[in-house]
Amino acid sequence: MIVDDSAVIRGMIARWLTEAGGFDIVATASNGRMAVDAAERSKPEIILLDIEMPEVDGLAALPMILKVQPASKVIVISTLTQRNAEISLKCLSLGAVDYLAKPESARAAGAAADFRRDLIEKLRALGEAKSRQARFAAAPIPVLPTPATPLAVKPGTVRPQCLLIGSSTGGPRAVERVLLDLKPALASIPVLIVQHMPAMFTAVFAEHLQSFLSMPAREAKDGDPVNPGTILVAPGGRHMGVVSSGGRAVIRLNDGPPENFCRPAVDVLFREAAGVFGGAVIAAVLTGMGSDGTQGARHLAKAGATIIAQDEATSIVWGMPGSIVKAGLAHEILPLESIGRSLKGHITGSSK
């Protein structure tokens, strides 16, 4: 279902999806009130929900939509402003699974092409994830996935000095849950996060984490020291790495080409952190589409670091963590609700 107050946008997206193939558009709506009725009637699997609409906007409509159609996966679409970034993150906390920045009409055709590619990729990933989750629901006994190949290295034995987190689709809520479960131990370790988000969204996400956790969290700046008790989020549109300078670890941002079509890329952070911290790293790869993080995880594993992957059953999209597992790089494969506890045990040296 496509929900947008612009008939031009609705028509454009419908045309794209028809041309891409594999999608059935079961309903469209021009405001939130119509969307609630249409969702109850047509039972869409995926809903594209605009934020700025007359009568009932996307933020107000979202909980009503999920009440009548709780199985729907909602992707919020909005133009790239700070206000809309804040509203989009609020929508994620209310149950939306992802967000997409909608290009403004005045922008170049390249922005529309990027939007089209990202939209279709997200929709396909969510569709594939729904099929896999249906398989889990049908299974009489839940079975955790296992590595497709044996682990090339053993888990790290050095007490971690830095926590790395990589995530994408479904990531903001997953990151919140992990950090909240880990919170008592956060004061003793720096946390570096790459969450696939556009510029502006990452600063708002960092501010949200600071408020949510009541501890220092901010969008990273070039030269920032990597200090215990501080959460640094990679800025949208820039790679975040880490280097050793004057005997201490500091953040290095760069505008290099995308890796895995991503900037920031988890691979960049993992690769550079392996060079600085060696085996004294613990990394968590959470829900997200694609395979970003796998190549960087090879560097971490070779250095002796410990890598935890979110399991398939609790991932919105099991792309990034699934790639880690299939590559045989995951030392632990855990449901979301267990990851924070495991990280805490590694960081504090306690199993509790």
Distance separating alpha carbons of residues 139 and 31, to the nearest angstrom: 39
AA letter at 167:
S
* Three state DSSP letters for the chain: CEECCCHHHHHHHHHHHHHHCCCCCCCEECCHHHHHHHHHHHCCCEEEEECCCCCCCHHHHHHHHHHHCCCCEEEEEEECCHHHHHHHHHHHHCCCCEEEEECCCCCCHHHHHHHHHHHHHHHHHHHHHHHHHHHHHHCCCCCCCCCCCCCCCCCCCCCCCEEEEEECCCHHHHHHHHHHHHHHHHCCCCEEEEECCCCCHHHHHHHHHHHHHCCCEEECCCCCECCCCCEEECCCCCEEEEEEECCEEEEEEECCCCECCECCCHHHHHHHHHHHHCCCEEEEECCECCCCCHHHHHHHHHHCCEEEEECCCCCCCECHHHHHHHCCCCCEEECHHHHHHHHHHHHHCCCC
Distance separating alpha carbons of residues 304 and 252, to the nearest angstrom: 23
Among residues 5, 78, 98, 196, which one is catalytic? 196
Distance separating alpha carbons of residues 27 and 16, to the nearest angstrom: 15
Among residues 78, 167, 168, 291, which one is catalytic? 168
Q: Give yes or no: 168 in active site.
A: yes
Q: Give yes or no: 188 in active site.
A: no
Q: Give yes or no: 181 in active site.
A: no
Among residues 4, 5, 267, 292, which one is catalytic? 292
Look-up of token digits 């896999």:
132
Distance separating alpha carbons of residues 9 and 147, to the nearest angstrom: 43
Tokens (6 digits) for 273: 């952190």
Buried/exposed 80-101: b ≥16 CB within 10 Å, e otherwise: beeebbbbbbbbbeebbbbbbb
Residues recognised as catalytic: 168, 196, 292
